[in-house]
Amino acid sequence: MTSGVDALVTGAGGFIGGHLVRALLADGQSVRGVDVKPLDQWQQVHDAAQNSVADVSLLGEARAAVDGARTVYNLAADMGGMGFIENNKALCMMSVLTSTHVLQAAHEAQVERYFYSSSACVYAAEHQTSPDVTALKEADAYPAMPEDGYGWEKLFSERMARHYYEDFGVQTRVARFHNVYGELGTWTGGREKAPAAICRKIATAAITGEHTIEVWGDGLQTRTFMYIDDCVHGIRMITDADNPEPVNLGSDELVTINQMIDIVSDIAGITVERKHDLSAPQGVRGRSSDNTEIVRRYGWAPGTTLHDGLERTYAWIHDQVKASIA
């Protein structure tokens, strides 16, 4: 990590980070990708990038990673799906070291732009108690009562970014992700999110002929899900613009988990029987993105339909499941 680059992507070995590196390289940018995982565990490794294994929760390694970068995209965090988040609150909170040290290093290096990936988990729980949820506006994060562990870390790190902008002039940009999914993501092992888990279960059912799947909760909890291509477009648009205030980055196509199972089952061409585990982690009862602000600022909001995104995601996960069973 000795030469200057247009962009640094932390968490480059992860799902969103790998897709972001790909998009930046496709536009001719020079990119440094950094992740704490060994290279053989990265979701994507792009030979055209400077790929480095480093722990940016350590200030010295964060400084080395940021050195010479014009723009920093900080996507690194210890996180996963609801099962991981609810059972690893301390680990999720420890990501504050990464968030703080990368921001501090970006300030010291006088980078032109610093993007921080926040989450819809910052929103106050009182707004998410019913499946018939009112879409969450940016202002609903306060008074603060975010999701325990992961949500608190994200909200604190948002405030750090705000104060580095106010006190030191760091050009920080913050997006609150709402349930990102797509190909080349985690699909098994306990850190996968609901779309990937459902695609895996239904692909397994289609391949094995065992058409009973386990569903966490009663399936009536509601969510919106954003396809990865929309997420990457939004990250770059928000980073390049001139507004430092956090903004929702997510679809506003609200569905129940049961409805998502219906969509994937239809894509797979099978009918599945559902065994509901009411003791499993299931998060808040309802959460949806209010896209009024992103449309007002940029004239754009994520537009890939859930069916289209799941069709592509299912095809990829089906291939992974088939290869793992063979």
Active site residues: 150
For the chain, the helix, strand and coil percentages under 3-state DSSP, each to the nearest 5 = 45, 20, 35
Question: Residue 122 is encoded by which pair of tokens?
Answer: 């910052």
SS3 170: coil
Round to whole Å and give the CA distance between 11 and 261.
30
Residue in this structure with the two tokens 């909001």, named with its chain if needed:
301
List phi, psi (to 5°) of 47. -65, -25
Return the amino acid letter for 138: E
